[in-house]
Amino acid sequence: MTKIVDHKYSIDQAFRECFYIVPDYQREYVWTEKEVHQLMDDIDEQFDTGHQREYFVGTILVSETQQKTHFEVIDGQQRLTTFFLLLCALRQRFQGEPEYQVFSGLLAANYNDRDGKFRTDLKLEPRYEHAGELMSRIVTIDADPQTTRARIAAAGVPKFGSLEKLLDAYSTVHRCLDDNYGDIAKLRQYWSYLANDVVFIQISTDVSSALKIFETINER
């Protein structure tokens, strides 16, 4: 009998406890400025109420892998990728602050795999064409969008289609933070809400069952 596990995660818990792999057979990142802005605005609206109520951003569907805590994303990669880019932007803004190391741990982790090899893995790794390299560069460069674009171009990393959309999304989340959280005190309050009160339900099962659940959800 197929085992299906569901768990409620906050943004902090999800990226602290899980590694997300976007397999190459999945749809690439397609969100435009409109969708990224909508997600950011929805969170801002809930945060601005001052009631600190949980904000539910939907369901993420994943399949288990042979590596513990590593999951292939079947549905929800647009949201997960956008949150990952938001964490990148927040880390860049907390440079020199105590929170900086917290964000570094949410973006990547060092560990020994089952063969005893030391690895550094991104907490979200897209495996479609060149996307993993681009995401790794964004994390490593750790700079504002303009500098990031320039260094990626200098490194010769391809930028087309969904890859350009990843860079656009990184720019968009920075602009949203500029518009609403200009000082470090407001940024800390925002991060506290995002980390603890923005939540989703993660459904985990084997890949065949996950794909069937995905098809059923879409059909209905």
Strands 70-75 and 55-64: antiparallel
What local confidence, expressed as pLDDT, does residue 120 receive?
A: 82
Give the number of other Cβ atoms within 10 Å of residue 153's Cβ.
11
Alpha-carbon separation of residue 15 from 10, 45, 71, 113, 174 (angstroms): 9, 23, 12, 18, 20
Alpha helices in the chain (DSSP H): 11-17, 33-48, 77-93, 100-107, 131-141, 145-154, 162-180, 184-197, 207-219
Q: 66 in the Ramachandran plot: left (φ > 0), alpha (ψ -120 to 50) or beta?
A: alpha
Average pLDDT per block of 10 residues along the chain, 220 residues long: 82 97 92 97 86 87 91 96 98 96 95 81 93 95 97 90 95 96 93 96 75 54
What local confidence, expressed as pLDDT, does residue 208 receive?
A: 56
What local confidence, expressed as pLDDT, does residue 1 receive?
A: 46
